[in-house]
Every structure is written in structure tokens, then in C-alpha cells.
Amino acid sequence: MKDDLSSLYAYSEWANARVVSALRALPEGDYTREMGGGWPSLRATFVHLASATNAWAKRFTGSDVTKLHTEEELPDLESAVALLAGAEAELAAFVAGLSQEERERTFTWKNLKGEPKTAPFWVVLRHVVNHASYHRGQVSSMVRRLGGKPLPTDMVLWGIEMQSA
């Protein structure tokens, strides 16, 4: 796979799958345990990651998304995983169909306050992966604090696996 936007999204999907594996390995109660810090629990963090990824997938296809899913709407790990998997599939298809011209245009969306925002589309497209990486790091730290074993999600490890495949 060459170094392009589709590769970046493939990496993010791989890394998310590794996070999900680490979460599934924890005792059930650990997913919702309040721990303090930036996000109160693994569930709060992962629901945010899944919901924000989904919001961008919807925005890219023309929907206004000004509200993210709540923990009550995604009460267990598998409901958040399903939302994330659907968003990843939408994003992969969307990104694969983008021309270079489309990637270079500006993109306007409404933020969570309903305010219109505009940025270069290539920046927004990469923001989705960067945002997920940030929250995957938070999840890994929380998993470690709970005595679990987070799986490394370094892009270079993905590259090694892709090279070997």
C-alpha cells in the first residue's frame, strides 16, 4: 500500500482494532469504572472516539452533526465498537473515492456548537486520524492504570506488518 490518505485511514482502523482488543481483555466492570482525569472512564473516552469518528464520516457526506453520542446511547463496549466500525467503513469508502482536486478544496461544517467552520479539506481529513490517535493514547494509559496490557498502536508497527504481509 502506498503512502497516501487511504493508508492513513487503514492505519487508524488497525490501531483502533488493537485498542478494542485491549478493552475486550479487561474485566467487564473496568470499562465503566470512574477513574478521574481528562475523561472519567474508558467508556467515556472510547464513546467519544467512536462518536467523533462517526460525526466526521457523516459530515464528509453532507450531514450536519452538532451532537455526539452519549454513554447512555452507547452503554457497552460492543455498541461503541459497532458505531466505530460503521464510521470506519464509511470513511474508507469516502477517502478512496476522493480525487486530488477534492482533497485540495476547502471544507465547511458545523461544529458541536452549531457554528460554521471552514478549513482546508486535507487538514480536516488528517485531523480525524490525529484525533483518534490522541484518544487511543488516553485509552492505553487508562488500560495500563487498571492493570491491563494495552497493545502498541505505533504507525511504524503497522508499517512493519503491512511490509511483511
Strand partners, 120: 106
**pLDDT (average), residues 53-64:** 97
For the chain, the average pLDDT equals 96
Give the model's pLDDT for residue 163: 93
Contact 34, 42 (CB under 8 A): no
Average pLDDT, integer, range 86-96: 97
Q: Could you give the domains of the chain?
A: 5-164 (1.20.120.450)
In the three-class reduction of DSSP (H, G, I as helix; E, B as strand; rest coil), residue 115 is classed as coil
CB atoms within 10 A of CB 112: 11
pLDDT of residue 111: 97
Give the C-alpha separation, 8 to 130, whole Å.
10
Q: Is 17 exposed, middle or buried (0-12, 13-18, 19+ CB in 10 A)?
A: middle
Q: Dihedrals φ, ψ of 33, to 5°? A: -60, 130
The whole-number pLDDT of residue 37 equals 74
At 36 the pLDDT is 78
pLDDT at position 140:
96
Say what the pLDDT of residue 3 is. Answer: 62
Q: Specify the pLDDT at position 28.
A: 87
**113-151 confidence digits (pLDDT tens):** 999 999 999 999 999 999 999 999 999 999 999 999 999
Ranges of beta strands (E only) in the chain are 106-110, 116-120
* Model confidence, pTM: 0.96
